[in-house]
Structure 1
Amino acid sequence: MTNAASPTHPLSALLADVAVRRQHGATNPIIQALTLDSRQAGPGTVFFALRGAQTDGHQFIGKAVALGAAAVVCEEMPAEQQADTLYIEVADSATAMARMAATFYGHPSRQLKLVGITGTNGKTTCATLLHKLFRELGYHVGLLSTVQNQIDEEVIPATHTTPDAIRLNELLARMVRAGCTHTFMEVSSHAVVQHRVTGLRFAGGIFTNLSHDHLDYHGTFDNYLRAKKGFFDALDKNAFALTNADDKRGPVMLQNTAAARETYSLRGPATFRARLIENAVHGLHLDVDGRDAQFRLIGVFNAYNLLAVYGAAVLLGEDATEVLTVLSGLTSAPGRFEPLLAPKSRITGIVDYAHTPDALENVLSTIADIRQPSQQVITVVGCGGNRDAAKRPVMANLACQGSARVVLTSDNPRFEDPNEILRQMQAGVQAPDLGKVLTIPDRREAIKTAVALAQPGDIVLVAGKGHETYQEIQGVRAEFDDRKVLAEMFDLLGK
């Protein structure tokens, strides 16, 4: 719901971009707030009845009206209607909500250079690097990411990768009021399908990569692909579409877009090209469009992230040399290949958000590239509950392939039995690897065990939760931060 400082509009003005099937009841009330939560309805409020995967907002129309909602936007008229409430029937409530929210807040995306980043992995890193880069270049900048939302240095907690359309437009309007010229945001596949970004004007879009994820929601990989592609299909001719030419789905993103088609690559011809010179523990050394550049980030996957950020910045009109100079000093997003060194034993801890097979493989591959032959890799990994179950055995198998020892444990089991999740992971462990795998459902104990197994100089990877500061079990979020627990175990075990 919007706050007390929100603008007011006659409802007819908010419907300017909405295809209304029919309406019934009171005429043209003055609107002071928008909400999709019936509990927040009240006088001067529009309540949007959305059909979701878990609940149908149409069930709560009566409650919203009882609380005084001035108008209801729905896909099906309720059987009982109140004369002092305006009922508006549309084909899709989510689309109507997005368009009305954009109008309500004065179309803030039109007053910003808004860039969206989509893909399976790398969204948070790219968005965070762009935010840091443009701040260093002297701009006032907004950030909308999985980790947090920011207006310059002001941090606003994030609850979703991409907020709902009302919250999203409210945040963008706050950024405009704060003087922001640029905003960089993650665009999830859920956000595209659920029309959270409908009605926004983007200056550009970035595609990072596509791999197995969110099939619990999308059903098939093709549906997941189409969701990502839908973002680029909606870009207008004044925007740019920058895609990873080395990902086999990269060119697909450009097929139907009206935007300027741009590419980046480490392997072949592209608008923006880089060549990997060195990938070491101290960072990356790249040749970027003929310019020699050193970076603090590690790993080939980060070479792609850096190249995407560089390309986007140049397409936004920034000087290539200056962009590389600033990028060379930046660090990644929290919980993304975040290192922690044990003071006594020199064990290297790495906390990473890798929660998909592709991301885990990338992290393990990066560790393999930079580790010394004497260093063993011990991996702690789990899989979230009430999410795509097909990746569970794959994740366990990949952990075994890239590690000397593996500890399978809980991630965020949510409403599933942690032991059942672990049984599904164990199915991916091949017979020759059985001796290297331990299964410990308690995540704290799992991390403790991994540190205990580590010898001086070894590498302990704790994968899956990254920046998260909680563990969700049976609907309850308890405080849990892999980074803090890992540091605690280093101290506790005298390492």
Structure 2
Amino acid sequence: MRLSRLTASLEGVRVIVPESVATLDPDPEITSIHYQSQTVLPGGLFSAIRGYSTDGHQFIEDAVKRGAKAVIADHPVETPVVVVMAGDTRKALASVSARFFQEPSRKLCLVGITGTNGKTTTAYLLEGILRKAGLKTGVITTVNYRYAGKVFDNPMTTPESLDLQKILAEMVENGVTHAVMEVSSHAIDLDRVHACYFDLGVFTNLTQDHLDFHKDMETYWKAKKRFFMENLSTGPKAARAVAVINGNNDRGRELMADCALNKISVGRSEGHSVRPRDLKISLDGIHGKITIPSGHLSIHSSLVGAYNVENILCAAGAGLGLNLSPSAIEAGINETSHIPGRLEAVPNALGKFVYVDYAHTPDALENVLQTLHELKTARIICVFGCGGGRDKGKRKKMGEISGRFADLSVITTDNPRHENPLDILWEIEKGVQKTAPHCFSVNGIREGFPVKGYVMISDRETAIGASIEVARAGDIVLIAGKGHETYQIVGNRTLPFDDRDLARKALRA
């Protein structure tokens, strides 16, 4: 595709053709697009974007050496190829990527799910609903992305715009008609979903997370809200786009008031279009009815916890917003039996209830622990840590929450990255001491823990093994924070690590 056609939709750009190269084609044929110089192929277009630690403009020379025919930059640069000057190279990358891949989101019914917690579960539920409706579905989640029977690793919740457009184009090529994707606050703020045209958006909730990036809750909220006020409200689908909003929280109610789109309100109380009716929650699942405008749905879900009621309501609302039949919505919800790493049970013959969950925020940890506390018949042991290089403000909060609900809090590592793991554990400890001040030794917990307390075991595998070892029949062991992840990040290394595998290993010991 010619450069001029790729950049036709960009506003306020200036194309600079160096006069020093007399034979240079001012409108080259572009055969690939890149944002990492090491991936550039001959005939490619390189977009220099500014990252957290490096600036893509530093790699323009490398991109040109590798065969780039043109570059996108946000300031004049000395280079022997055509330069497209754009004020925002991230937005420019998203726009040219969409055009390069023939704007696949126009050809799909595209659903975006955003919020702090519940995105993945809601996406799985909606995937089940769409499939029950007989629709060919693709999904992009924190766990993976998948379509047409193919499953691929996903390095981040919402891929970079170039990768996202490529994935959506592949879905179209494989006959997918409906795509469901998680939309992170980073993706909104960094314009990864710019030039994606959504048919429906879902807001799940907003609680503390990612403040290492957004700095404060108001900025974080503005990013989430922007998805509805800008991404969903502009483009060729804006007139018919639908917003499904969980009104069970203050931010949801604010969004309901401010958003001018077609809206479906879901929540626990009267006044919401989609709401629970006589739902019963146990370790066997969620059973009862959900009220919808045309009647009700009979719910018999194996998902556990009050927070999953809200995820089910969001998925049901999305199904209604897509004009799917109540029977497909009902069957899709009821047949979605488990979500990887979301209160995922690790079966065993020892009578110990072992669960692995992705809860890595204060709200998520409180939700899952509160659910287990309400359903417990014996003790709760909670194994958890906090990620290094991330929002430090949630460490004490998560410690306090674990101490409040668990009989034994086992403080360990998560993904320490470049931080000293012990520094992270000590910050968590300050929170735990507020609600469960007794500190046990590792040998001490083997002799029992007659009072609420905590133990610090920095090695996560050892922590998991010790927790399962000291659990008795009937006890609940919650291994929180990493969920579906199959790795642990320590320094610059990404090591194989799966909480579920390690729990199974400990149960066999």
- Please report the TM-score for the alignment, with normalisation by the length of structure 2: 0.92
Per-residue deviation, 1:132: 2.5
Give a deviation string over 1:54-90, Cα, whole Å, max 9, x none: 1111111111112221110010111x221xx110111
Name the residue aligned to 2:252.
250
Q: Over residues 4-31 of structure 1, what are the superposed CA-to-partner deviations in whole Å (9 max), with x where a residue is unaligned?
A: xxxxx11111112101432211411001
Deviation at 1:252, TM superposition (A): 2.7
CA–CA separation in structure 1 for the residues paired with 2:486 and 2:89: 34
Contact 1:145 1:158 in 2 (8 A): yes
Question: For residues 220 and 456 of structure 1, do their structure 2 counterparts lie closer, same or farther at Cα, with a shift above 3 Å needed?
Answer: same
Note if 1:13 corresponds to 2:5: yes
| 1:481 correspondence with 2:477 | no
Between the aligned partners of 2:206 and 2:191, the Cα distance in structure 1 is: 20
Q: 2:362 matched to 1:360?
A: no
3-state secondary structure, aligned to 2:13:
strand
Compute the RMSD of aligned alpha carbons.
1.3
Could you tell me how far apart the structure 2 residues matched to 1:99 and 1:259 are?
24
| Within-5 A mapping of 1:12-51 | 12-25=4-17, 26-51=25-50
Q: Does 1:176 align with 2:172?
A: yes
Q: Partner residue of 1:4?
A: none
Partner in structure 2 of residue 455 of structure 1: 472
Residue identity matched to 2:13? R
Which segment drifts farther, 256-265 or 472-481? Answer: 256-265
2:375 is matched with 370
Alignment of 1:98-247 (within 5 A): 98-234=94-230, 235=232, 236-247=238-249
3-state secondary structure, aligned to 2:14? strand
1:81 is aligned to 2:79: yes
After alignment, is 129-138 or 394-403 more displaced? Answer: 129-138
Matching of residue 319 in structure 1 with residue 322 in structure 2: no
Kept in 1, the 8 Å contact 2:243–2:263? The answer is: yes
CA contact (8 A) 2:229 2:259 kept: yes
Percent identical pairs in the alignment equals: 38
Deviations 1:364-400 (Å, cap 9, x if unpaired)? Answer: 011022222xx10000010000100000011111001
Say which of 305, 313, 318 aligns to 2:311: 305
Unmatched runs of 5 consecutive residues or more in structure 1: 1-8
Distance in 2 (alpha carbons) for counterparts of 1:35 and 1:174: 17
Distance 2:243 2:55 in 1: 35
| Separation in 2, partners of 1:387, 1:276 | 40
1:59 partner amino acid = Q
Deviation at 1:253, TM superposition (A): 2.8
Q: Deviations over 1:106-160 (max 9, x none)?
A: 1100101000000000001111221222123321110001100001321011011
Which residue is equivalent to 2:62? Answer: 63
Say which SS state the counterpart of residue 277 (structure 1) adopts: strand
Matches of 1:73 and 1:457 in 2, distance apart?
60
Contact 1:266 1:276 in 2 (8 A): no
SS at match of 1:30: coil
* Higher alpha-carbon deviation: 123-132 or 416-425: 123-132
Does the 8 Å contact 1:364/1:402 carry over to 2? yes
- The reply on whether 1:286 has 2:288 as its aligned counterpart is yes
Aligned length: 478
> What is the letter of the counterpart of residue 104 of structure 2?
P
Distance between the aligned counterparts of 1:257 and 1:107, measured in 2?
26
Q: Shift of residue 407 of structure 1?
A: 0.4
Contact 2:31 2:43 in 1 (8 A): yes
SS at match of 2:298: strand
- CA distance, structure 1, for counterparts of residue 459 and residue 480 of structure 2: 15
Query: Structure 1: how far apart are the matches of 2:299 and 2:51?
Result: 47
**CA 1:272/1:45 → structure 2, altered by over 3 Å: closer, same or farther?**
same
Q: 1:257 to 1:70 in 2, by over 3 A?
A: farther
Distance 1:42 1:277, change over 3 A: closer
Alignment of structure 1 residues 433-472 onto 2, 5 Å = 433-435=436-438, 436-472=453-489
Answer yes or no: is the 8 Å Cα contact 2:49–2:56 preserved in 1: yes
Q: Which runs of 4+ in 1 moved over 4 A?
A: none
* TM-score, structure 1 normalization: 0.94
Give the match's secondary structure for 1:416: coil
Q: Distance in 2 between matches of 1:413 and 1:13?
A: 45
- 1:296 equivalent to 2:302? Answer yes
Instruction: Specify the SS of the correspondent of 1:425.
Output: helix
Distance 2:325 2:351 in 1: 40
- Partner of residue 407, structure 1: 410
Kept in 2: contact 1:232–1:254 (CA 8 A): no
For residues 159 and 6 of structure 2, what CA distance do their matches in structure 1 show? 20
1:296–1:24 Cα change, 3 Å: same
1:409-436 deviations in Å (ceiling 9; x for gaps): 0000011110011111111123561221
Q: CA contact under 8 A between 1:135 and 1:152: conserved in structure 2? A: no
The aligned residue for residue 5 of structure 1 is: none
Please state how far the C-alpha of 1:341 moved relative to its aligned partner: 3.0
> Is 2:392 the partner of 1:392?
no
In structure 1, C-alpha distance between the alignment counterparts of 2:339 and 2:53, rounded to whole Å: 31
Cα 1:368–1:68 change in 2 (3 A) is: same
Q: Tell me how far apart the structure 1 counterparts of residues 57 and 335 of structure 2 sit (CA, whole Å).
A: 51
Cα distance, 1:94 vs structure 2: 0.4
Question: Does the Cα contact within 8 Å between 2:299 and 2:333 map onto a contact in 1?
Answer: no
